[in-house]
Amino acid sequence: MRTVVERELELKLVLSPQRRIPVPTRLEYVTDDPYAVHVTFHIDSAHPAHWTFARDLLVEGVFRPYGQGDVRVWPTKAEGRSVLLVALTSPDGDALLEAPAAPVAAWLERTLRVVPPGTEGEQLGLDDELAELLAQ
């Protein structure tokens, strides 16, 4: 059975230490794709920007700097609040986004209850398919 865990929240696009602009964002976790999180940024353009990356990257990034390459996440404080910074790199440019830590952590906790760590492969049914192939 397919389950979707979504959360709408506002991230901030960090333009400079003094300037941030709000970015309406949707976090989505789908049991059909159990290793990934999907993030949609509704920016001032005709089409939203979509990113997909490993759920583990976000889970680890809540606690410590994590990731390399295109997506990096780390916890910090901003104006006395706990936030997550998410650095995205693509051929189209780079972005630094600030997310409120508590709502992101709560959403992640919901995804971990739906598909606990280490059980992602069970969602894909790979063991059943492999057993069927080997039985032939």
Which of 67, 55, 72 has the alpha carbon at shortest distance from 107?
A: 55
SS3 43: coil
Q: Specify the pLDDT at position 122.
A: 80
Q: Specify the pLDDT at position 135.
A: 77
Q: Which long-range contacts (CB under 8 A, 24 or more apart) does 92-96 make?
A: 95/13, 96/13, 96/14
* Cβ pair 106, 112 in contact under 8 A: no
Model pLDDT for residues 104-120, shown as the tens digit of each residue: 999 999 999 999 998 88
Q: Please give the Cα distance from 90 to 103 (Å, whole number).
A: 26
Count of Cβ atoms closer than 10 Å to residue 52 Cβ: 13
Residue 92 or 74, more confident: 74
Q: What angle do CA 20, 23, 24 make, to 5 degrees?
A: 150
Model pLDDT for residues 38-74, shown as the tens digit of each residue: 999 987 667 888 999 999 999 999 999 999 889 999 9
- Contacts of residue 48, defined as CB under 8 A and 6 or more positions apart, other chains included, come to 40, 41, 42
* Cβ pair 103, 7 in contact under 8 A: yes
Which of 112, 65, 73, 106 has the alpha carbon at shortest distance from 89?
A: 73
